[in-house]
Structure 1
């Protein structure tokens, strides 16, 4: 059985609505996409579609930009967080495999 994405992950919101919700211009939103800070999906006709998580990320980006943080630095921070998350996931997976192999039950 496959897991369904959370409503916050579903890419269903148009760039116009995102612009209204965030206060950013459509040009700014596209720029952040060019800088690889957000990753909208494309609909059949090429229209960008965003999720609620994308909106939250755009607000965080806008706040950091107001503080003077460069987009390059924001991107580097994102990369670092993703690497840390990947390492944590791998560590938990390995721990689960070891526990499974040796019949260790997790305390409840």
Structure 2
């Protein structure tokens, strides 16, 4: 995906301090979620973490799930399942489009 095609929600431009303020989560907790591979910030050349608005939403979902008593490994499993389902849906959509184009099917 070209950089200019990335949604504003997915641009990694927010520092961990601002993320902490927006979510109410401590910086330590945010780094812990990164260690557990639940969140994936980008790093600047100097190693500063940068997050997106989508990351804020993900962190809030994680915090809600933790508050409900769900363990981080369960959250990761759920997130992986959702990601795989989304990829499968996108692939199927692309294949349907190719088939429709091949046989000149219009909706």
Q: State how far apart, in whole Å, the 1-side matches of 2:25 and 2:68 are.
A: 16
Q: Which has the higher helix share?
A: 2
Q: Spell out structure 1 runs of 4+ moving beyond 2 A.
A: none
Cα root mean square deviation, aligned: 1.3
Unaligned runs of 5+ in 1: none
Task: Give per-residue Cα distances to partners, 1:13-67, cap 9 Å, x unaligned.
Answer: 0001101111111110000001110000001110000000001100110011011
What TM-score do the two structures reach when normalised by structure 2?
A: 0.94
Q: How far off is 1:86 after superposition?
A: 1.1
Q: How far off is 1:3 after superposition?
A: 5.0
Aligned residues: 106
In structure 2, the residue corresponding to 1:16 is in which secondary structure? helix
Match of 1:102 in 2: 103
Q: How does 1:16-95 map onto structure 2 within 5 Å? A: 16-95=17-96
Match of 1:6 in 2: 7
What TM-score do the two structures reach when normalised by structure 1?
A: 0.93
Unaligned runs of 5+ in 2: none
